[in-house]
Amino acid sequence: MLLNPEHCYQALLTHDSRFDGRFYVGVSSTGIYCRPVCRVRTPKAVNCNFFPSAAAAEQEGYRPCLRCRPERAPGYASTEAGARPAHIAAHHIDAGFLEGNSLAALALQLNISERHLRRVFAETFGVAPVQYAQTQKLLLARRLLRDTQLSITDIAFAAGFGSLRRLHALFQQKYEDAPGPWRKRHARAVKAGAGLSVDDSAIDDTIEIELAYRPPYAWQAQLDFLAGRAIAGIEAVIDARYVRSVRIVRGDKIYCGWISVGHTPARQSLSVRIAATLTPVLAAVCAKLRHLFDLGCDPDTISATVGPLAATLPGLRVPGAFDGFEMAVRAILGQQISVAAARTLAGRVAAKFGTPMATPFAEITHIFPSAAEWPTDATTLSGIGITGNRVIALIELARRCASGALILEPSADIEPALTELASIRGIGDWTADYIAMRALAWPDAFLHTDYAIKKALGEANPKRVLAIAEQWRPWRAYATRYLWHSLSVKDTPNWRAV
């Protein structure tokens, strides 16, 4: 990604959060690189070098700033810079894909050549994928050293290093210091469990981190959306925090635990508590949370595209999915019935087919069944009230997800995934588009057959609805969220005039 130094410096002078995570500035006089929102004294332009990623800055020998902490910068939206393959690859890397796989395997996952992957990645992030992965692991290690009480050995494996020796070697090479002494100088006091009505003995064994976003963030609207669709026993909203059970599969190992997510508006971040049992897959958990809460979103870009729609509630996000299969099951259950009725069915599924798990939250009792665990007997499903084509669709969905024929993650190739979904009997346009919007994180998904969308637009013809929505490309998923929200707002703009 080419950066104009003059434009970047003007953005740096403003310390505007809109530019946070879009570039980094390396200061030649100090050897430090910062986020553009850093509040230290602004360096002279002649001493500034600009980079498209933290990895690119570190590749040139710069060390991360201890004040603005580049590891806390927000991520990227999935259509930025016309380089979706690079961003999809980065999503895989952030989730730890390269810890047990080669770059060739990553390229195969994206259906492109390894050479093409290297090229588009370098154009977007300024470094090779392997160098990006190394920096991400180092930054995560720094965050854990500073913000948690984990042992350095646990931190090494949590950050994705194969050994403690490897962490020591790279930390010394990049930062000219060892992890232990660095931690003694920079670690902050850690307070566990503040403000939660849970079992204190269980909450002590947690990891606490922050995940940043670009403001504004309509947190209550996001929380309300998730709460209204929460699956009993799996997820809940407790004391203004989203809480859920978690299962992450890494190779032949399964890691289970829970997460709790709250809002810290003063720090423009989400506060996350993670069960220590998930330490080995911490990177994957963070990647899933960024997707679920849409932390790569740039509200100003969205507002510029959807226009008056965004005026109703600045910072509205598109809710993602922590688990794509779980979310798709919930979507199929919700076809042609009310949200409340779909919640009831999903709760029955969790109670009957889920795996019981002890947590410090009375509301969280199970782990949702995986695709491999899904029942294949139609009678079993109809016995809990699931009927008609939904039974057939759920069994076939599970079969294809378990076999790998269908991938329901933000890294999936959109068109093949939509084609695969459409070929499943019982899955129509609405369901496929809804899954694309949430599980696949496709920002241009649009539910043109949705009753509420047609009501908000005052237009019953789906083709006409699609024609109206053309003005909101490539962010029609956000237009969908705003149109839904508009139904709860008395004074709404005239969408036809947008």
What are the catalytic residues? 450
Structure tokens at 251: 């190779």
Q: Rounded to whole angstroms, how far apart are CA atoms 89 and 108?
A: 11
Inter-axis angle of helices 476-486 and 299-306, nearest 10: 80
Bridge partners, 438 (sequence order): none
Q: If residue 490 lies in a helix (H) or strand (E), which one and from where to where?
A: none
Contacts of 379 (CB under 8 A, 6+ apart): none
Residue 78: burial class (beta carbons within 10 Å; 0-12, 13-18, 19+): buried
Q: φ and ψ at 103, to 5 degrees?
A: -65, -35
In three-state secondary structure terms, 162 is: coil
Tokens of 294: 């849409």
Ramachandran angles phi, psi of 212, nearest 5° = -85, 160
**Phi-psi region at 35: left, alpha or beta (left = phi > 0; alpha = psi -120 to 50):** beta
Cα 137 versus chain centre, distance: 17
For residues 435 and 335, is the Cβ–Cβ distance under 8 A?
A: no
Detail the DSSP E strand segments found in 290-358: 355-356
d(CA 454, CA 466): 10
CA-to-CA distance for 139 and 71, rounded, in angstroms? 5
Q: Cα–Cα distance between 343 and 32 in angstroms, integer?
A: 50
462 CB neighbour count, 10 Å cutoff? 15
**What are phi and psi for residue 50, nearest 5 degrees?**
-115, 140
Q: What is the DSSP string of 184-250?
A: HHH------STT--S-HHHHTSEEEEEEE-PSP--HHHHHHHHHHTPPTBTEEEETTEEEEEEEEEE
Cα–Cα distance between 472 and 151 in angstroms, integer?
49
From CA 258, how far away is CA 389, in angstroms rounded?
33
Structure tokens at 366: 């199970």
